Amino acid sequence: MYESMMKVITGYGLISGFAVIGLTMWVSYWISDTFTKGRLHGSAIAILLGLALSYVGGAFTGGSKGVVDIPLLSGIGLLGGAMLRDFAIVATAFGVSVDELKRAGYVGVLALFVGVGSSFIAGVGVAMAFGYTDAVSLTTIGAGAVTYIVGPVTGAAIGASSEVMALSIAAGLIKAILVMVMTPFVAPLIGLNNPRSAVIFGGLMGTSSGVAGGLAATDPKLVPYGCLTAAFYTALGCLLGPSLLFLVMRGLVG
Amino acid sequence: MIIYGVAFLALCTLAGLFVGELLGKWMGIPANVGGVGIAMLLLIGLGSYLGKRGLFTGKSEQGVSFWAAIYIPIVVAMAAQQNVYGAISGGPMAILAGTVAVVLGFALVPVLVRIGNREPAAVVPTKEAG
């Protein structure tokens, strides 16, 4: 009987994913209603639960894909993978106000550059405080603080050690996770409650999974505005990391 | 028909990602340049054009709005497969670097919002970027 059940669950992975995530959503909204009187969104709790479970999954299996490394839950990988994620993000654009986008366009582009720059400086500053002095390592760790894709792309281009690359990926992952976790709590303090601030938020944070999760947990109506600018962030980081930012670092530390 | 909406969404997504890939190749960077963003703009633009001509209505819209509604569960599934364990075992430097970047980002949101608010008032012609 157990064998047959496993066969169905793993063979119909995506369907199992829908069932498991649906159940998680139901539990989360129940927690939200009973313990926080709806003050903390059900979606925020669901994302927190997801992250906590992925920690447990990683700790038990030693894999790098959270709960997906547990065979029983591998279908979640299909459901939350890049393909369906991007498909759903594009769908959220339906019903977006074009006027709001136009009004935020210019400052959105500015936010992208400021976002890549500030994250890079943050990463470089911390790396310096921890005793790194060479331009290659500093640039790679700084790029990792931009996103966990920009880090290894930059590191590979300028010849960083694999240890430094791993650190840069970890820094980017922390960033994505923190954006998901903290955004619903910080949103009221920074005025993140309208399309324009969402466009700016997307450009400043940029980490697409972080922005997607953070805005979903704050207010789903803001998702398309933030994701639209965030879509350009990683590419901008990959463009600037191994070129301009590396040259600046080499000029600064020799 | 609902499938028209789903197919329309699929075509916009594929077209956007394709353009993003081409841009990346053209700029010589190993990343998709704004593919999802371009797809969103396509969906907004084409969607309102078709809507005005009465070609994109009720049932077709449902094909798009279903996927928009399923977005949050997908994001939860995405959260459940982040490498949280790996990130935390990256050690104090990685944690601090990520944290400072996030805190700085949050702090800059109100600053840029203020710049954006001042923007429409200053309609003095400035140099065009690019």
Residues A70 and A29 in one domain: yes
Cβ atoms of A224 and A199 closer than 8 Å: no
In chain B, the residue whose alpha carbon lies closest to the alpha carbon of A138 is: B97
Question: Mean pLDDT throughout A82-107?
Answer: 83
Residues A167 and A208 in one domain: yes
Residue corresponding to tokens 């059900």? A42
What pLDDT does A204 receive? Answer: 93
User: What residues in B contact A149, CB-CB < 8 Å?
Assistant: 31
Q: Is B63 on the interface with A (CB under 8 A)?
A: no
What pLDDT does A116 receive? Answer: 93
Q: A123 to chain B, minimum CA–CA distance in Å?
A: 5
Q: What is the ipTM metric for this complex?
A: 0.84
Question: Mean pLDDT throughout A133-145?
Answer: 91
Residues A61 and A108 in one domain: no
Question: Mean pLDDT throughout A196-204?
Answer: 92
Model confidence at B109: pLDDT above 60: yes
Each domain of chain B, given as residue ranges in start order, spans 1-82, 83-120
Question: Mean pLDDT throughout A173-178?
Answer: 89
Percentage of chain B exceeding pLDDT 90: 25
Cβ atoms of A236 and A116 closer than 8 Å: yes
Question: Mean pLDDT throughout A2-30?
Answer: 90
User: What residues in B contact A224, CB-CB < 8 Å?
Assistant: 40
Per-residue pLDDT tens over the stretch B41-94: 899 889 888 888 888 877 888 888 899 888 888 888 888 888 888 877 878 888
Within-domain flag for A89: no
Q: A3 to chain B, minimum CA–CA distance in Å?
A: 25
Kindly state the tokens that stand for A87.
């498909």
Within-domain flag for A185: yes
Model confidence at B116: pLDDT above 70: no
Q: A70 to chain B, minimum CA–CA distance in Å?
A: 10
Q: Is B125 on the interface with A (CB under 8 A)?
A: no
Residues A154 and A232 in one domain: yes
Question: Mean pLDDT throughout A68-84?
Answer: 87
In whole angstroms, what separates CA A162 from the centre of its chain? Answer: 22
Q: Is B12 on the interface with A (CB under 8 A)?
A: yes
Residues A52 and A157 in one domain: no
Residue ending a domain, among A76, A110, A142, is: A76
Domain coverage including residue A18? 2-76
Q: Is B43 on the interface with A (CB under 8 A)?
A: yes
Q: How many CB pairs under 8 A join A and B?
A: 332
Rounded to whole angstroms, how far apart are CA atoms B35 and B46?
Answer: 16
Within-domain flag for A81: no
Model confidence at A168: pLDDT above 60: yes
- What domain count does chain A have? 2
Residues A57 and A102 in one domain: no
Question: Mean pLDDT throughout B19-41?
Answer: 84
Q: B33 to chain A, minimum CA–CA distance in Å?
A: 5
